[in-house]
């Protein structure tokens, strides 16, 4: 095998090795960025889950029948009808 062909093949192999090593570095960098983004999204999901649970608790506290009746009486000046004011309608 001629010497120039040997050097050419060695150069091609070295170039391919360099290209693959650069590609590996780029892929590792991308992986780390995606992993960091995943961690941020998981943290945001956890925070939103906590907020959702707090809102559900608040909703259940505000929607109790006793509280609704209290607000209806105090703020809207509503009252339950007297028995004589109730009219029953037959179907």
Q: Where are the domains of the chain?
A: 3-82
Q: Which two tokens stand for residue 88?
A: 């029953």
Q: How confident is the model at residue 21 (pLDDT cuts 50, 70, 90)?
A: very high
Q: For residues 42 and 49, what is the distance between their CA atoms, to the nearest angstrom?
A: 10
CB of 79 within 8 A of CB of 73?
A: yes
State pLDDT tens for residues 34-54.
999 999 999 999 999 999 999
pTM (2 decimals)?
A: 0.57
CA angle, 9 as apex, 4 and 11 as ends, to 5°? Answer: 90
CB of 72 within 8 A of CB of 78?
A: yes
């Amino acid at each position: 095998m001629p010497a120039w062909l040997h050097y050419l093949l060695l150069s091609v192999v070295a170039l391919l090795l360099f290209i693959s090593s650069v590609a590996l570095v780029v892929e590792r960098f991308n992986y780390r960025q995606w992993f960091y983004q995943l961690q941020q999204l998981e943290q945001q999901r956890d925070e939103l889950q906590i907020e959702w649970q707090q809102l559900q608790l608040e909703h259940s506290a505000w929607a109790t029948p006793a509280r609704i009746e209290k607000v209806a009486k105090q703020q809207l000046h509503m009252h339950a009808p007297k028995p004589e004011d109730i009219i029953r309608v037959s179907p």
